[in-house]
Amino acid sequence: MPLDLEEQEQLDQLKAFWQKYRNLITGVVTVALFAYAAYSGYQWWRNSQALDASKLYETMVSAIAKGDKDQTFRAADDLQKDFARTPYAPMSSLIAARIAADAGDSAKALDYLRWATKNASNDGYLALAKMRLVSQLIEQGSEKDFAEADQILKDKPVAGFEALWLERRGDWYLAQKKNAEAKVSYQDAWKKLDQAKEFPEEARRLLKVKLDAVGGIAQ
């Protein structure tokens, strides 16, 4: 069936449009396809990484149950090296740091905690790593350790963990026998903690003990 004049004109306009913009259109479509392929590939990689990381984490848990510290640390190290972008890596580093500290290896504990503070993408793990690192440094007690702890505490607190930041600042003061400054930090932490109902009661009891040690809660 022959085209009428109007249809023929529309067809000619479409051909002219395609002739003028076909390279641009083809390029946009190609970029979109590449972007989709890259996204799909990343999703597959991320899922694969998470699965492999979870298996290695299970190996670590099994080693902990057996009391095998060497295998525990190897698993934590491998998770750092091969699966740093998964949540299992900072989680395992926090656990390994605790095991190392309990075994009296403070240097290894500090290494695990420092790694977690630099690589944790989850806010909860990041805050926990920083607060644990500050506590470990305060326990070490050298001038260099206090300086490193001070630098961490000057960072902006992770949202939702402001009370813990203030409490650790109080610990930092108290370890240097600056009781008046420690009392102020503990009081500020108490006010914040009182507003954060999600924190366990144990956290409040511990802070109350610290406050009592420096003169109690301001009324």
Residues 23-82: pLDDT tens digits? 554 555 445 544 544 444 445 446 666 788 888 888 988 888 899 999 999 999 999 998
Domain assignment present for residue 99? The answer is yes
Q: Which of 87, 113, 130 is the last residue of a domain?
A: 130
The domain of 189 spans 156-219
Q: Residue 200 class from Cβ within 10 Å (0-12 exposed, 13-18 middle, 19+ buried)?
A: exposed
pLDDT at 138: 93
Residues 176 and 124 in one domain: no
Closest residue by Cα to residue 204 from 217, 215, 180: 217
Q: Is residue 7's pLDDT more than 60?
A: no
d(CA 53, CA 85): 10
Mean pLDDT of 135-156: 94
Q: What residues contact 211, with CB distance under 8 A and at least 6 apart?
A: 183, 186, 187, 190, 217
Domain assignment present for residue 176? The answer is yes
Q: What residues contact 105, with CB distance under 8 A and at least 6 apart?
A: none
Residues 63 and 103 in one domain: yes
Amino acid (1-letter code) at residue 207: L
pLDDT at 69: 92
Q: Is residue 213's pLDDT more than 70?
A: yes
HSE toward the beta carbon, residue 23, CA cutoff 13 A: 1
Q: What percent of the chain is modeled with pLDDT above 70?
A: 74
More confident residue, 181 or 160: 181
Closest residue by Cα to residue 162 from 195, 118, 116: 195
Residues 59 and 125 in one domain: yes
Total structural domains within the chain = 2
Closest residue by Cα to residue 108 from 67, 54, 69: 69
pTM (2 d.p.): 0.74
pLDDT at 126: 92
Residues 126 and 167 in one domain: no
Quick: pLDDT tens for 92-120: 999 999 999 999 999 999 999 999 999 99
CATH number at residue 164: 1.20.58
Amino acid (1-letter code) at residue 159: A
Closest residue by Cα to residue 91 from 64, 70, 112: 112
pLDDT at 34: 46
- CA distances from residue 21 to 11, 34, 95, 139, 163 in whole angstroms, order as listed: 15, 20, 59, 68, 59
pLDDT at 1: 47
Amino acid (1-letter code) at residue 85: R
